[in-house]
Amino acid sequence: MPANIRFLLTMAALLGAAAVPNAGAGALRGVPPRVAHQRGLAVVDSLTTAGAWEAAAARAAAVLADDGVDEDLRWLLHQRAGLALQRLGRLDEALVHLEQAVLWGPSEAINHRNLATLLVALDRRGRATAEYGLACDLDPSNCAVRVEFAHVLVDFGQHRDARATRAAAETLCGPDDPLLLRARSRCRLASGDPAAVLPDLERLPELAPTPESGQQLALARLRAGRPEAARLLLAPRWQGDLDDQGLRILLEADAAVGDPAHAVSLALALGEGGARLPRDPLVWSQAALVCLGTGRDSEGLILIDRAIALAPDDPDLRQNRVILLNRLGRAEEAAQEWARVLALDPGRDPD
């Protein structure tokens, strides 16, 4: 354990003793309860800064065990505990604390925003939308929260509401604010207008270059009918920092350029990724389709099997496997695979 975290844990034990009823002892005896609670909160914040999430959540809970904690400190402690538990992946436990933070600090916009992000992670979309709305109402000048809400609405497929939320953010953010440019780009791209996205996305790499902004620009160029420009952006990053979405974009762009040999070489190179093997079945599926379109059926079958291993109940992937098996002359296996497709989607058309 790093020395700084050991020190913080020691301090947490000492200060926590003053924060819990009947636990005060030694030099800390006689400390006013509010002071002890404030010290406990300070230790929680220090543990959080150090990334000691487990210890931070435990210390916050220990301070909260005192029913005498003042309301203005109680919501802060619940907030810290909830965020720490969320970082640990203990979402149900985090939900209890973040709901308590809202209960004890209902006028604090940050409490509603924190609860909203957790509800998104739990896929509780209705409540998440409501909490984001409250956060925006309580802090109407906060550009970042509105932009974040717009992204969430795009993810939920609520494109009209996303555009309205983004438009509200435009009145708050500066015209060159990267947060606004990203949100506006996503809304326009999701609405099927890739050409309108390009001006904002072309500016992002200059204002705030990130791997994600490069991928967004590549996708917009691809959807706007400029696959070569998309490929030029992403090809140098093939063995670098491309995530699964970037891999899909590059594979699709390479095939659209009309360079099948190069597209196949990229598709087959996926298996050389080691620890970076794609976890998105659509990457493997896209690679399989590249091979399918160029007559590399054996390689395509290997790639589609990779996709199916990640998403065994996807009838589209299995139907592509049927096509490849038939092209390879393996009719009996193709018939067995088609039976699996129909079991997953009884109304599917073989064509």
Does 176 fall in a domain?
Answer: no
pLDDT in the model for residue 20: 47
Domain end residue (candidates: 59, 78, 105): 105
Does 333 fall in a domain?
Answer: yes
pLDDT in the model for residue 12: 46
pLDDT in the model for residue 16: 46
Domain end residue (candidates: 70, 105, 140): 105
Does 93 fall in a domain?
Answer: yes
Cβ proximity of 112 and 134 under 8 Å: yes
Does 110 fall in a domain?
Answer: no
CATH number for the domain including 29? Answer: 1.25.40
Domain span at 348: 226-351
Cβ proximity of 52 and 9 under 8 Å: yes
Phi, psi dihedral angles at 178 (to 5 degrees)? -55, -35
Domain end residue (candidates: 73, 105, 137): 105
Q: How many domains does the chain have?
A: 2
pLDDT digits (tens, 9 = 90+) for 172-194: 988 888 888 888 888 887 877 77
| Residue 237: other Cβ atoms inside 10 A | 17
Does 200 fall in a domain?
Answer: no
Does 115 fall in a domain?
Answer: no
Measured CA to CA, the distance from residue 49 to residue 80 in angstroms comes to: 11
pLDDT in the model for residue 187: 83
Does 277 fall in a domain?
Answer: yes
pLDDT in the model for residue 348: 83
Does 62 fall in a domain?
Answer: yes
| Residue 339: other Cβ atoms inside 10 A | 12
pLDDT in the model for residue 110: 97
pLDDT in the model for residue 189: 78
Tokens 């006013």 correspond to: 32
The pTM score is 0.65
| Residue 293: other Cβ atoms inside 10 A | 13
Low-confidence ranges of the chain (pLDDT < 50): 5, 7-8, 10-28, 274-275
